[in-house]
A and B are shown apart, each in its own frame.
Chain A
Amino acid sequence: MDQAISSLLSKTYTKNQALATLRLIREFLNYLFFDLQLSSEPSGRIDQFLKSQNLDPLASQEAKILSQLGDDFYKTFNPKNLTAQFKMMEDALSSIQEVIVHLPFEMAEEEVERLGEWFKKNLGEESLFNLNLDPSLIGGAALSYKGVYRDYSLKQKIAENKVKIIQMLVSFKQ
């Protein structure tokens, strides 16, 4: 089971994404095991499932991850242990401490992926993050992790240099 979670985490960057992917995986396995009543070659049935759900594998990140997980991932599941396995996986995912990145702008998907890669590279494959929009930050980012908040934004830099700024303004006035 740890391997399944690790595989999932290696392909996902944010917790929301991981949970959404997990939900999609569950729907797929339900479709595979109970609708098609198949237990083998799950990866060959992904396109069929996505079509039935009206999901575009090129557009949806979760759909892409579904394809990227591989048969080794799906072999860990069977009709009997499906519910229990998914419950364990959900619990495991929920317990992971994610890094919340507060940004003053909306990040594009590609940039989110790139950011995710940075996190995987620097914090480990099982690290997750989440994005929060905070326009007051002006530029840069603020981070929250394990209950600690640190502001590395432009807003903080202005606040730190308030006195210098005021002195500068006064010197301009003079």
Chain B
Amino acid sequence: MVELILSLIIIVVATLAYLLRQEVKEHQKVLDHFRSNPHSSDSSQELLHSTWKKADDILAEAELESLKLLSEKKFELRLFEKRFQERLDQIIEVIENNFSNNLDVSRKRHDDFISNLEKQTLSWQDKLKDQMNSKVNALLLNFEENLTNFLARAEQESLESINLELRSARQLIDSYKSQQLSLVDENIVAVLERTMNLVLKQKLTLKDQIDLVYEALEKAKLEKFFA
């Protein structure tokens, strides 16, 4: 800010100096014109003298004005600097106050946040613990139920297989029994045949035997066995 003001002052002074120089040059041109023109030497000498005087006055005035301006500007600059510094200090103070206030507020909020977070974490922890407990309980219950069902099924299946084995064993026994009974029946018939053979040999007379033979032959003839 200070630099800006100084630069402005320098620019103003330079502009004034440039303008003064331009005026001096013009006066110099006029002077040269008057010097070159012999007819206007006296009036021109007076004019020139007045012009030089005016120019000197203007230069002195300009210098005075520029000095005045410079001092005013320096004073204003100092005043500005002072005010700036004061303002700056005020602002800094305000900023500092605001910053500290904000810091306090942030700290407070942070503390509140942390405490809330801690509370929430604890509550979540409790909830999680409860959920885990309930899940584990549910899992254990499910496992127990499944195990019970499995054992019941296994028991049922083993009973069924045992029953099946028993049934097949009974069937085997029954079939063996019927086979043995049929064997016994056949043996009875074989024994009967043998017995009849032995008995009839003793009991049947030759005539009976011959009669039986002719009976067989007649039966064969009726059945056209000899055809």
* Chain B stretch 172-227: residues in CB contact (< 8 A) with chain A: 185, 188-189, 192-193, 196-197, 200, 204, 206, 208-210, 212-217, 219-221, 223, 225-226
Other-chain residue from B192, B193, B196, B212 in contact with A141 (beta carbon distance below 8 A): B212
* Chain A stretch 121-174: residues in CB contact (< 8 A) with chain B: 122-123, 135-136, 138-143, 145, 148, 150, 152-155, 158-159, 162, 165-166, 169
Most B CB contacts (10 A, CB to CB) among A135, A139, A148, A166 go to: A139
A111 to B210, CA, bound (A): 8
| Chain B residues within an 8 Å CB radius of A162 | 185, 189
Q: How many A-B residue pairs have CB under 8 A?
A: 73
Cβ distance B226 to chain A, nearest Cβ, rounded Å = 5
A22 proximal to B (CB < 8 A): no
Chain A contact-residue range equals: 20 to 34
A57 proximal to B (CB < 8 A): no
A138–B200 touching, CB < 8 Å: yes
B217–A141 touching, CB < 8 Å: yes
A66 proximal to B (CB < 8 A): no
With A135-B197, A150-B220 in contact, is A140–B225 under 8 Å at CB? Answer: no
A138 to B198, CA, bound (A): 8
A100 proximal to B (CB < 8 A): no
B225–A143 touching, CB < 8 Å: yes
A99 to B216, CA, bound (A): 13
A135 to B223, CA, bound (A): 24
A139 to B214, CA, bound (A): 11
B216–A140 touching, CB < 8 Å: yes
A139–B221 touching, CB < 8 Å: no
A165 to B200, CA, bound (A): 17
A13 to B196, CA, bound (A): 31
B185–A152 touching, CB < 8 Å: no
A138–B197 touching, CB < 8 Å: yes
Cβ distance A112 to chain B, nearest Cβ, rounded Å = 11
| Chain B residues within an 8 Å CB radius of A155 | 193
* Chain A stretch 81-95: residues in CB contact (< 8 A) with chain B: none
B192–A139 touching, CB < 8 Å: no
B193–A139 touching, CB < 8 Å: no
Interface-facing stretch out of A4-12, A30-38, A72-80, A101-109: A101-109
Instruction: List the B residue with the shortest CB-CB distance to A119.
Output: B217
B216–A158 touching, CB < 8 Å: no
A136 to B204, CA, bound (A): 15
A154–B212 touching, CB < 8 Å: yes
A152 to B223, CA, bound (A): 11
Instruction: List the A residue with the shortest CB-CB distance to B226.
Output: A123
Instruction: List the B residue with the shortest CB-CB distance to A137.
Output: B197
Other-chain residue from B188, B209, B223 in contact with A105 (beta carbon distance below 8 A): B209
| Chain A residues within an 8 Å CB radius of B223 | 150
B226–A138 touching, CB < 8 Å: no
| Chain B residues within an 8 Å CB radius of A138 | 193, 196-197, 200
A148 to B227, CA, bound (A): 12
In the A-B complex, the 3 residue pairs with the smallest Cβ-Cβ separation, listed nearest first, are A152-B216, A140-B212, A141-B216
User: What would be 6 A-B contacts, judged by CB atoms less than 8 Å apart?
Assistant: A107-B210, A143-B217, A143-B225, A145-B225, A152-B219, A166-B189
A interface residues with partner B (beta carbon < 8 Å): 99, 101, 103-105, 107-108, 111, 115, 118, 122-123, 135-136, 138-143, 145, 148, 150, 152-155, 158-159, 162, 165-166, 169
Additional pairs, 12, CB under 8 Å, beyond known A103-B209, A135-B197, A136-B197: A99-B226, A101-B217, A107-B210, A108-B206, A111-B210, A136-B193, A140-B216, A141-B212, A152-B216, A153-B216, A162-B189, A169-B188
